[in-house]
């Protein structure tokens, strides 16, 4: 007879190479969700790439908000000290699970991006219906991604539902707060910051006065390309 209680029979876990995100061996759904849970890492890599090549102050501010959001998550975890569910994982960076860092990260990103998309970017061309359509499609896609990432943490037994929900709420609140801090406090300072000698040296720029940066970059690039073609023919 067994002399002590145990958790239900532990699953055999496999990890995705280099990441140590584990999923049940032979579980295709778990493998897909494990890949989905890697999206925060992909987002961070994307931000670093954008900062290196674009050097735009709003992007730097967005990234800074993500880092502060992660710092808040670390602080909350060590204050609450709620353990993770019994899952047999050995590769977690901390034993505490409240709130979920993945959930808090992805919901910060999604909420901030929503606000940026609908409040920061304005219409500048005549394709009103087309622009609204791609914004709505992108918003729905981001929402689905956030839901899948959050669900993956429960499915893979890294977190409980309450840990994921509270993480999502914390991330959404932080996203709203940081967006309005960026818009109302930092954005008016961006032109001065961009004019600093060190900013000019590192080619840091401010595009906050451009209502639709995607349309602006498209039109500038197109005009420059046409001019280069004309100059080449003349030569």
> Quick one: pLDDT band at residue 118, thresholds 50, 70, 90?
confident
Domain membership flag for residue 5: no
Taking the C-alpha atoms of residue 42 and residue 38, their distance in angstroms, rounded to an integer, is 7
Buried-exposed string 201-213: b where 16+ CB fall within 10 A, e elsewhere: eeebebbbeeebb
pLDDT of residue 133: 78
Domain membership flag for residue 213: yes
Question: Region 130-143: what's the mean pLDDT?
Answer: 81
pLDDT of residue 131: 65
Domain membership flag for residue 171: yes
Domain membership flag for residue 153: yes
> Quick one: pLDDT band at residue 5, thresholds 50, 70, 90?
very low
Domain membership flag for residue 113: yes
Question: Region 145-163: what's the mean pLDDT?
Answer: 87
Number of domains composing the chain: 1
pLDDT of residue 94: 67
Whether residue 4 has pLDDT greater than 60 = no
> Quick one: pLDDT band at residue 207, thresholds 50, 70, 90?
confident
Please indicate whether residue 217 or residue 186 has the higher confidence score (pLDDT): 186
Domain membership flag for residue 42: yes
pLDDT digits (tens, 9 = 90+) for 21-65: 777 777 788 778 888 888 888 888 888 888 888 888 888 899 999
Q: Determine the 3-state secondary structure of 228 from DSSP.
A: helix
Domain membership flag for residue 101: yes
Phi, psi values for residue 130, rounded to 5°: -65, -45
> Quick one: pLDDT band at residue 144, thresholds 50, 70, 90?
very high
| E strand map for the chain | 13-15, 22-24
Range of the domain at 71: 14-217
pLDDT of residue 170: 93
Domain membership flag for residue 227: no
């Amino acid at each position: 007879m067994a002399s002590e209680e145990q958790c239900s029979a532990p699953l055999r876990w496999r990890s995705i190479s280099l990441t140590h995100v584990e999923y049940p061996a032979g579980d295709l759904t778990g493998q897909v969700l494990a890949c989905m849970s890697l999206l925060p890492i992909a987002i961070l890599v994307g931000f670093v790439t954008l900062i290196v090549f674009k050097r735009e102050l709003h992007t730097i501010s967005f990234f800074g908000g993500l880092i502060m959001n992660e710092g808040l998550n670390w602080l909350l975890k060590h204050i609450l000290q709620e353990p993770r569910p019994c899952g047999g994982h050995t590769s977690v960076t901390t034993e505490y699970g409240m709130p979920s860092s993945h959930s808090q990260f992805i919901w910060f990103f999604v909420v901030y991006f929503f606000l940026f998309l609908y409040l920061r970017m304005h219409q500048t061309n005549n394709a009103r219906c087309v622009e609204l359509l791609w914004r709505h499609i992108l918003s729905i896609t981001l929402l689905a991604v956030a839901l899948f990432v959050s669900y993956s943490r429960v499915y893979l037994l890294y977190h409980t539902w309450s840990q994921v929900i509270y993480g999502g709420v914390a991330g959404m609140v932080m996203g709203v707060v940081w967006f309005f801090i960026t818009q109302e406090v930092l954005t008016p300072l961006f032109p001065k910051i961009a004019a600093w000698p060190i900013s000019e040296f590192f080619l840091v720029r401010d595009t906050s006065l451009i209502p639709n940066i995607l349309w602006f970059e498209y039109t500038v690039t197109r005009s420059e390309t046409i001019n280069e073609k004309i100059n080449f023919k003349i030569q």
